[in-house]
């Protein structure tokens, strides 16, 4: 058995480093727009040490914005580890995803002062195509 460091959660773990560039630009984006159809974002977020509560407040602020967005469907904030969070959100099409980017949630990520004060590195936004899904919870 080897003693490998634990894998950081998320689709593309960021390289471990202690020399993080400061200030950073708030977000990094990867993935393609793809063909028309349902779209999603997975956003990987890492808090600076001691800033976890501020990241939770940021997630609450984003949720407040997306509740008013007609083209934002399922939206989930998740926590993988003490300082590692994520957002998974689904849109009916590219236009809906773009409207979200231009809306209040996007404004929060464009607040570089806030992002640099609470995030260890830029939030990594992954553009995704939704292939299939289950839209509702089963009844118990």
Average pLDDT, the chain: 87
User: What CA dihedral angle connects 6, 112, 62 and 13, to 10 degrees?
Assistant: -20
* Between 86 and 135, the higher pLDDT residue: 86
What would the two tokens of residue 5 be?
A: 């460091």
pLDDT computed for residue 12 by the predictor: 52
118 phi, psi to nearest 5 deg: -125, -20
Task: Report pTM.
Answer: 0.83
* Between 24 and 117, the higher pLDDT residue: 117
- Tens digit of pLDDT for each residue in 22-74? 677 788 999 988 889 999 999 999 999 999 999 999 999 999 999 999 999 99
């Amino acid at each position: 058995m080897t003693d490998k460091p634990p894998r950081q959660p998320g689709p593309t773990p960021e390289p471990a480093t202690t020399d993080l560039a400061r200030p950073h630009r708030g977000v990094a984006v990867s993935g393609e727009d793809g063909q028309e159809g349902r779209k999603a974002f997975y956003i990987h977020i890492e808090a600076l040490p001691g800033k976890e509560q501020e990241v939770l407040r940021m997630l609450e602020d984003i949720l407040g914005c997306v509740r008013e967005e007609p083209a934002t469907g399922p939206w989930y904030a998740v926590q993988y580890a003490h300082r590692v969070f994520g957002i998974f959100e689904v849109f009916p099409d590219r236009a809906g995803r773009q409207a979200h980017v231009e809306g209040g949630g996007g404004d929060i990520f464009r607040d570089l002062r806030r992002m640099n004060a609470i995030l260890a590195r830029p939030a990594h936004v992954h553009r995704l195509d939704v292939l299939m899904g289950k839209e509702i919870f089963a009844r118990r």
